[in-house]
Amino acid sequence: MNLNKVMLIGRLTRDPEMRYTPSGSPVTSFSLATNRYGQTTDGEKKEYTDYHNVVVWNIGKRNLAEIAGQYLHKGSLVYVEGRLQTRSWEGQDGQKRKTTEVNATEIQFLEPRSQSQPQKGAADQTPCPHRPISGTASHTRRFATSVWRRSISSTTRRSRAFAASSVSEARSYPVA
């Protein structure tokens, strides 16, 4: 059994870039900052920031790439769910390059529109990409907890179903 699932809550570090493939399919990419906390060797608490490259495609009739490109902006707080994907290519200089990115299948905006809309001339007021806006931290925590519980329970159900099928298969073969 394999699992490739990524769930992130963070802030965009730059405005999303929307472009089109030669076949006309829209694709949007952006960078997401997330925080984690750890301790130094001295036992001092320290905050670390990780940056994730996210790619969003339209999925069926869901226009995720277009919605992300239209409504997200630098500083937006979002939930992204998807899978990790590594791709490689040859650069213009002939060097082989490789990158790992999150291929998003779900995006949820975690702020009211009034807080997430950038105001004209308010470039200096854009919230820091990895700091929560006051009033949204508890909502984000509750949302993350509910997503985690749903994910764990569905993974547990799949594991139990797999274990049960393995046991029934083992019973169906004669023992020598």
Domains of the chain by range and CATH?
6-89+96-130 (2.40.50.140)
Task: Quick: pLDDT tens for 110-156.
Answer: 988 766 555 444 444 444 443 433 344 455 556 556 665 665 555 55
Task: Quick: pLDDT tens for 33-55.
Answer: 999 999 989 999 999 999 999 99
Number of DSSP helices (H) and strands (E) in the chain, helices first: 3, 6
Q: Tell if the pTM clears 0.85, that is, is over it.
A: no
Cα–Cα distance, 107 to 56 (Å, whole number): 9
Cα–Cα distance, 130 to 35 (Å, whole number): 7
pLDDT computed for residue 51 by the predictor: 97
pLDDT over 90 at 164, yes or no: no
